[in-house]
Structure 1
């Protein structure tokens, strides 16, 4: 049996300086004040490192990033936020050597609680040596990061963190202007003026024309809570998200039931296939520079604000052809067959991968693996957040009602 011991920083991940990961913990678990304080401390830690006192600088960084936080808060960030950024920085050559051995041990200068989840679940290490030695069962193959959380898009290196802090006042102002444009101006004017303030919507395919009476069902991938707002803007007409409205016109549904940031589609609920045979799949995707527009933690009503705070938010809307009769329930297809077919063609359009994960799986991953109790508490929190978001959604009422 071949064994290997490898450092995490500078070997399995390219960056030898873990400072940006402490910045993520500071921002996501505490907020912008701790984030800014830790950034101001960075020159001190660099000076200590240059003087041969790197350990002191590291301890100071860890203290400022985590002092006063509950362990559960750090674990939440380590579970839902950090894996995405670690995965982006993986050195694939080092990973190939590491993964070829039977017994794999990772040594890290980062506290175990921050790295253990990623190292064991995604790098498939057997042991992690950080502040303590942890034993876990050996697993067979690596897994991609499908679910992650947090507001920041980029890993906050010192230069990136300075840029984020400098941008936030401008971003808030820009978000207010963009939202005001969407609320106050007629729908036909919104796309033109949005481009003047950095926003962009890319439309591909040919959307169906408006119909009188019973409408079509737009089945969308779910990337952010802005999906129905953007769709309404593109179609230049109000598209509701309540199924009782289908008899009066068009309707939009997101059968994934929750958002997913990575290039994966969650399992589609089959309920939409029973509503109508007039189904138009719509592939929705978005690109942002600083802030993610969705998060499982915090107040959901802030999601549109963070989306509009990005310098150049881009939405991509791709209309596919209406499903042919033979692909609908009227031809004898089961609702599950229809849902799986729509999921596959939307994934192929976006270059995404289909999964069997559901909303329940997502919140179990992000909220913890301690079973139904954890999931129930997450759902309770989500219901409260959704209640708060409905107040913000009322701002966009002209678009989505």
Structure 2
């Protein structure tokens, strides 16, 4: 006898999230990460070409979002591209996508935890934030969605205040917003790869596919909505800050939004911006832990990770062991990681993940909801180009970690055949 809609069988997650909750979780994953963590290093790479980098990252993100939405509607299970790659391309490609996502997004969690610590309680807040948010997830995804809704509202209000302050303060050099000789082709692509770190949160909706009501309708609506809102916010903030600080000032800023409101003549907003930065990082961290733990759950079910991590709490209906394990690893990484290095490493792993997603979407038939052919082609090419345009250290470490994952998979298969 089948499981009724909205309920869950043994070891399965409950479908509780509607369109609004799914959009908010996507916004919580995206809004904040790029503005408070990736904007300055991206400006350092692209210079005055930052708006162009933002546009390139947005195009790749749109293609990935479209491919992910079609696949998620077809396969509404926890795991995202881990599941899509396995079903469409074969077990190895699904595994490689899942491995890239877990390690890349764990690095993202560390970067967000460090951002929290830098603004709220240097040296301590990152570990406290991970433990606290893991506890919230442990209590249930519904509570996480409501908490994320409040966080997104606060961050959007703060960013709106920053844009208003920058516009009111004006700019002494309007030409700063033009693309100058400092913008190189490689720099623009490298910056786009770093900015992609901020856009990747829309996949959180897909990785929560097993907890979304009516996934065939909800997921394709929620992903473009979350991405579109985020694009508008990013463009507004980036252009406003560039107008006040200029490319060089933005590239060298440790806290660019703080410095922008100071330069605009509104220093009273600085404490508000700092609170907004900490809250934004908390929101991103919350959604990241949700996504990583669900992919960990899916891989543990297939025994690509320790099977003990596949447990679903009988009362709260969440993968509690996976969430606690992710939180523990992030706490360790946050104590030792460098924010900029974590962003680059994360971007490489996640771009590899989306390359598999686009390749998987290419194999869909029209009856299965295949997107226009140009979408997965452009998405796949964009992912590969941006991945290898990242800083050399990020490419080397990212490729090495993917190679370790592939070798582990091969070794496990060889042992199983004996």
> By the TM > 0.5 criterion, same fold?
no
So what's the TM-score if we normalise by structure 2? Answer: 0.26
Higher helix fraction (1 or 2): 2
So what's the TM-score if we normalise by structure 1? Answer: 0.27
* Larger Rg computed on CA atoms: 1
Bigger relative contact order, structure 1 or 2 (CA pairs below 8 A, ≥6 apart)? 2
